[in-house]
């Protein structure tokens, strides 16, 4: 039975008549998700012309990853090139003028054909439940994504991300995935002495069909509760890793882990934007030096432009106790937001890097470990999701 989502009843009935009897009409986004989750074998959803574009795009993005055999056809009152491009990029199969009955029927038939072919190749239990826009998880974990970022390199992103991931896992109490998205120069493997036998680069040849099982094979187990997606060994491979693949991998990680901690490179590239777009929390690392602070302000301005939620940002001052002639008031004056966490400077940090054992592993009560532990407890401990998914189902654009 095809599912039609159309809020305007008159329009819904008109379309139902056109499409034949086997149509289930839903009038809300929540009802749509519910029906899609119940009807695991459904192969076609038609989004009526009253569907807001952001909802349609969000829904199609989720389907592409979780239910690739479920086709989405979008109907519009007017066909606009930009709208079409955005919808198709998100995974909508066809965008059709609602007034063109023949085109609607043709699009639906084509989409059903594709789905049937896909189903022949897919195991029925390969379907994943989609999160409702209400309470999230279904039978998936719906992990929180924490993206660690800075506009300036060398400020301590990797040190923070790595130790935070270890502490969040709490020796196996929670499942954490650390993704090294410093794609050209990622050094998590070195800092943990992990052999990079599988890396994110191995996802490239299967980028269009990677599923949860495939994703798991890319991960390198590090400690109880903590798996790592390592960066490519050869920097040149970084270029092949597209924004779409990164988004898909993050989504797959969210399905199986409670937390997804992402280490990044200090660039505003398409790849890093994928990691930022998917974040529930932004951890902005800086140091008490004017260039780093100035760049933090630039990042904050950029985040405003990108409409990333202010309440999701945490500014971390690393090497906070360095005597460099700047008081905390001076620092907050430059960045114009409060500092949320302070990590002290310690020679044990480079020492731990050199021996390949992070401080959170070797020194549980080291001041650096304790500072990151406090940050984790203050900002990220949770029993239930406290931040709704920004780009999850039906929430795109609601940041």
Ligand X SMILES: Nc1ncnc2c1ncn2[C@@H]1O[C@H](COP(=O)(O)OP(=O)(O)OP(=O)(O)O)[C@@H](O)[C@H]1O
- 241 vs 203: CA distance, rounded Å: 8
Nearer Cβ to Mg ion (69/246): 246
Cβ–Cβ < 8 Å for 319, 343: yes
Closer residue to ligand X (CB): 2 or 264: 264
Q: How far is the CB of 258 from ligand X (least distance, A)?
A: 23
Nearest residue to ligand X on Cβ basis:
153
Residue 218 binds which entry of ligand X, Mg ion, none, CB below 5-8 Å type-dependent: none
Binding partner selected for residue 368 from ligand X, Mg ion, none, CB under the kind-specific 5 to 8 Å limit? ligand X
Helix (H) or strand (E) holding 262: strand 259-264
Nearest distance in Å: CB 182, Mg ion:
5
346 touches which of ligand X, Mg ion, none (CB within 5 to 8 A by kind)?
ligand X
Residue 162, H or E segment? helix 157-169
**Beta-strand (E) ranges in 265-325?**
281-286, 313-318
Distance CA 371, CA 350 (A): 17
Residues in the site for Mg ion, rule: CB under 5 A?
157-158, 182
Q: Residue 153's binding partner, choosing from ligand X, Mg ion, none, with beta-carbon cut-off 5 to 8 A by kind?
A: ligand X
* Residue (98 or 165) nearer to Mg ion, CB: 165
> From CA 96, how far away is CA 384, in angstroms rounded?
40
Give 149 or 303: the residue with its C-beta nearer to ligand X.
149
Which residue number, 306 or 355, has a Cβ lying nearer to ligand X? 355
List of residues contacting ligand X (CB under 6 A) = 150, 153-159, 182, 266, 318-319, 343, 345-346, 349-350, 353, 368
CB 165 within 8 A of CB 220: no
Q: Which does 62 bind (CB under 5 to 8 A by kind): Mg ion, ligand X, none?
A: none
Which residue, 83 or 267, is less far from ligand X as judged by CB?
Answer: 267
What is the C-alpha end-to-end distance of the chain, expressed in Å? Answer: 34
Which residue of this chain has its Cβ atom nearest to Mg ion in the complex?
158
Evaluate whether 60 touches 41 at the Cβ level (below 8 Å): no
Measured from the CB atom, the residue of 182 and 227 that comes closer to Mg ion is 182
Find, among 306, 275, 299, the residue nearest to 399 by Cα.
306
Partner that binds at residue 353, options Mg ion, ligand X, none, CB closer than 5 to 8 Å by kind: ligand X
CB of 25 vs Mg ion, minimal distance in Å: 51
Residue 271, both tokens = 């790849």
- Residue 7 interacting partner from Mg ion, ligand X, none (CB closer than 5 to 8 Å by kind): none
CB 320 within 8 A of CB 178: no
Work out how close the CB of 93 gets to ligand X at its nearest, in angstroms, rounded to a whole number.
40
Q: What span, in angstroms and rounded, lies between the C-alpha atoms of 257 and 227?
A: 9
Task: Give least dist CB 351 to Mg ion, A.
Answer: 17
In the complex, minimum distance from the CB of residue 203 to ligand X, in angstroms, rounded to a whole number = 21
Which helix or strand (DSSP H or E) is residue 122 part of?
none
Residue 70 to residue 114: CA distance in whole angstroms: 9
Task: Report the nearest approach of Mg ion to the CB of residue 41 (Å).
Answer: 45
- DSSP characters over 344-388: ---THHHHHHHHT--HHHH-TT-HHHHHHHHHHHHHT--SS--S-
Task: Tell the smallest beta-carbon distance from residue 352 to ligand X (Å).
Answer: 8
Q: Which does residue 159 bind out of ligand X, Mg ion, none, counting CB within 5 to 8 angstroms by kind?
A: ligand X
The residue among 157 and 254 lying less far from Mg ion, judged by its C-beta, is: 157
């Amino acid at each position: 039975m095809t599912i039609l989502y159309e809020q305007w009843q008159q329009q819904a009935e008109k379309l139902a008549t056109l499409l034949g009897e086997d149509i289930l009409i839903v009038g809300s986004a929540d009802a749509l998700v519910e029906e899609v989750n119940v009807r695991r074998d459904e192969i076609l959803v038609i989004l009526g012309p009253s569907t807001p574009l952001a909802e349609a795009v969000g829904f199609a993005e989720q389907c592409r990853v979780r239910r690739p055999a479920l086709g989405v056809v979008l109907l519009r009152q007017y066909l606009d090139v930009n709208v079409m491009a955005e919808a198709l990029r998100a995974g909508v199969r066809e965008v059709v003028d609602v007034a063109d009955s023949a085109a609607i029927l043709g699009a639906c038939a084509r989409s059903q054909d594709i789905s049937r072919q896909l189903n022949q190749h897919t195991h029925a239990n390969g379907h994943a439940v989609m999160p409702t826009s209400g309470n999230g998880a279904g039978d998936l974990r719906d992990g929180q994504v924490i993206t660690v970022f800075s506009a300036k390199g060398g400020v301590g992103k990797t040190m923070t991300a790595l130790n935070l991931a270890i502490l969040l896992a709490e020796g196996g109490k929670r499942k954490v995935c650390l993704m090294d998205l410093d794609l050209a120069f990622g050094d998590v493997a070195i800092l943990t002495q992990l052999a990079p036998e599988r890396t994110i680069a191995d996802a490239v040849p299967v980028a269009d069909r990677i599923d949860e099982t495939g994703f798991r094979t890319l991960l390198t187990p590090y400690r109880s509760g903590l798996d790592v997606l390592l960066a490519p060994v050869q920097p040149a491979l970084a270029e092949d890793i597209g924004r779409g693949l990164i988004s898909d991998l993050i989504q797959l990680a969210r399905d199986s882990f409670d937390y997804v901690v992402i280490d990044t490179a200090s660039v505003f590239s398409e790849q890093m934007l994928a990691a930022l777009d998917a974040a529930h929390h932004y951890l902005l690392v800086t140091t008490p030096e004017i260039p780093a602070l100035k760049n933090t302000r630039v990042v904050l301005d950029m985040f405003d432009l990108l409409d990333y939620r202010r309440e999701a940002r945490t500014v971390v001052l690393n090497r906070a106790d360095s005597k460099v002639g700047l008081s905390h008031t001076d620092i907050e004056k430059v960045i114009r937001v409060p500092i949320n966490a302070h990590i002290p400077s310690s020679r044990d940090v480079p020492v731990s890097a050199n021996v390949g054992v992070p401080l959170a592993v070797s020194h549980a009560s080291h001041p650096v470990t304790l500072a990151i532990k406090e940050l984790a407890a203050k900002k990220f401990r949770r029993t239930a999701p406290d931040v709704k998914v920004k780009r999850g189902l039906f929430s795109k654009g609601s940041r």
